[in-house]
Structure formats: structure tokens, C-alpha cells
Amino acid sequence: MKYMLMMNTMKTGQGVLAWPEKDLHAHIAFMIGLNKELQERGELVSAEGLSFPDQAKLVRAGNDGRPITDGVFPESKEFLAGFWIIDVDNPERAYAIAARISAAPGAGGRPLNMPVELRPVMSGPPQEMV
Amino acid sequence: MNGPGQRQLRNETRDETGAKNMKYILLMSGTRAGIEGYHTWSKPDIEAHMAVLHRINKDLTASGEFVATQGLADPRDAKVVRGEKNGAPVTDGIFPESKEFLLGYWIVDVASSQRADAIAGRISAAPGPGGKPTNMPIEVRQFANHESKSD
């Protein structure tokens, strides 16, 4: 069963840059350790971090098919900060991994307890679209 | 095991694939109300839409820019998980009406940000009901761990 675990942030998510370097290193070490463990268990499909939201763009096709780019987003918008795709035996295992990510250490080494969005990945297009 | 399209290409294999060393993720999102709208499309409209998306994937594979694409299941199955004090997962399925859910994504490896925008433009122009372009907004985001080609 494949799931995508998403770590979202508001535009102010750059707060991590204000963390003491030691805390940032502990956070990154935690994430590297987790990814290694998931990989060893054969549960990791991929994991990536995205650049900060100030570099995000919204693209629409104009009438001639040319891209029209826009960098203005509503204040309330959640931006994807990073994601994991995992392949696990049951939803409970996906929840457990999401909870570990949620409890990653933040400033002062305290668990962040950040919300992690969990979504089943489609194994193929819906039948009516094939 | 996963198909080759869903695996991350590691740096050392990039050159063999013709990859261009700038990775972007193109995100297609919508609110729950917007997503319900797709269920009202006619079958030919859905088929025309999917045919264009398949064509884009094929073109990206041919140009060596394709890394991965994936569709996500219906947002009704989405959950938000937090770790409790003891690390036990606490799940919740309530989201604000305004929340945008990810529908699917493409990861591309391109030579410039303009190229990423152009690909997003093609996806945005995929046909919708009656064959008219959907012109849906595609969010373009660069990966954090991009390195320079000179190392």
C-alpha cells in the first residue's frame, strides 16, 4: 500500500532558519536516520525536500498555450515543504511513520508535533480513465 | 518494487538519462468542491484529457526530463497525523473547506526554470469538458537539494 506523507508549511515556514545550528543539525540527523531505517525495511520509495515558498510559482497556460507565471499566493496557503512516498503493509504502519516524522526534534530539541498529511497513492488511473 | 518512473534517480545516474540537473515538482491541486467537478466530466472528455497527459509523459521521457509522476487517491481518504507525547499517531480527517488537496504531481529534471514553466503550461492546457483547455493552475517548486553540475 503506497502512501504520500506531506509536510506542509505556511509562507512563514522559513522560521527554521532562525533555529540554532545545533538544533537544525539534530533535526536533519533525525530525518536522515529515519529515511535510512525506512530504506532498510524496504518501505521507502522516495523522499524529497522542496525549496522555500518564496521561490514557488503558479503557472497557467495562456490561450496560445504559453506559460503565464504568477508568484502571488493567498496568505492562508499551505506550501509543501517536503514529502515521503512509502510502501507499507497497512495504514497503521503509515500512521506510525507519519507520527515519527511529526515528532522530529525542533528548536531546543523539543518534538515539533507538526501535522503530517497522509494520502493513499493511486496504484493506477481510475478504471473509467483507462 | 516500484516501476522505474516512480524511483528517484540518484545523482550518479543522471548523466546516463540525459537529465539536466535542475529538479522541479509540478503540483496539481484543488479544493474538495473543485475535485468533485471532475466526476461530472463525460467519458470522451476524460479520455481526451488523459491522452494529452500520457502524451506529455511520453515526450518528457523521450527528452530525458521525466523523473516521476503520480496521482493521489480521493481527498476523502486524506488524514492528518500528529505524534503524541509518546510518539503514538493521532489521526484526524477534518480539513477546512478552503484546503487545497494535491491531486497529482510530475517531477522533472530540466535545464532551466523556463523549461519547467513551459511543461507546467502544457499540463495546464490539457483539455477539459468540451475539449476546452482547463487552464488549471500548476504550482512549480524546485527541489531543495539541487547541486551544481560542476562538482
Q: Residue B29's domain spans which residues?
A: 17-75+89-142
Output the tens digit of pLDDT for each of chain B's 151 residues. Answer: 334 334 444 433 444 445 578 999 999 999 988 888 888 999 999 999 999 999 999 999 999 999 999 999 999 999 999 998 888 999 999 998 889 999 999 999 999 999 999 999 999 999 999 999 999 999 999 999 654 333 3
Chain B contact set for A37 (CB, 8 A): none
Asked whether the beta carbons of residue A59 and residue B87 sit closer than 8 angstroms, the reply is: no
Is B9 among the domain residues? no
pLDDT digits (tens, 9 = 90+) for B141-151: 999 965 433 33
C-alpha cell at B75: 481527498
How is domain A2-122 classified at the CATH fold level? Alpha-Beta Plaits (3.30.70)
Rounded Cα distance between A104 and A113, Å, is: 7
Asked whether the beta carbons of residue B117 and residue A129 sit closer than 8 angstroms, the reply is: no
Is B149 among the domain residues? no
**A50, A103, A119: residue with CB nearest B102:** A119
Is B105 among the domain residues? yes
Tell me B63's DSSP state: T
Residues above pLDDT 70, as percent of chain A:
92
Asked whether the beta carbons of residue A45 and residue B82 sit closer than 8 angstroms, the reply is: no
C-alpha cell at B59: 515526450
Helices (H), A9-121: 21-40, 91-102
Domains: count for chain B: 1
Q: Hey, where are the domains in chain A?
A: 2-122
Asked whether the beta carbons of residue B43 and residue A120 sit closer than 8 angstroms, the reply is: no
Q: Averaged over A28-35, what is the pLDDT?
A: 96
Q: DSSP string spanning B101-146?
A: EEEEEEEEEES-HHHHHHHHHHHHTSB-GGG-B----EEEEEBTT-
A27 confidence band (pLDDT: 50, 70, 90): very high
Complex ipTM value? 0.87
Q: Taking the model in full, what pTM does it have?
A: 0.85
Rounded Cα distance between A12 and A94, Å, is: 28
Is B11 among the domain residues? no
Rg of chain B over CA atoms, in angstroms? Answer: 18
Size of interface A-B (CB pairs under 8 A): 165
Sheet containing A79-87, strands listed edge to edge, beginning at the edge strand earlier in sequence: A44-49, A79-87, A2-9, A116-120, B79-83, B89-92
Burial class (CB in 10 A: 0-12, 13-18, 19+), A53: buried
**pLDDT given at position B146:** 55
Q: ∠ CA B14-B71-B43 to the nearest 5 degrees? A: 130
Neighbours of A54 (CB within 10 A): 10
Closest CA to B71 of B93, B49, B92: B49
pLDDT digits (tens, 9 = 90+) for A74-127: 888 899 999 999 999 999 999 999 999 999 999 899 999 999 999 999 876 555
The CATH number linked to B93 is: 3.30.70.1060
Asked whether the beta carbons of residue A115 and residue B81 sit closer than 8 angstroms, the reply is: yes
**pLDDT given at position B39:** 84
Is B6 among the domain residues? no
Indicate the residue type of B41. Answer: W
Q: DSSP string spanning B73-101?
A: PPGGG-EEEEE-TTS-EEEE----TTPPE
Is B38 among the domain residues? yes
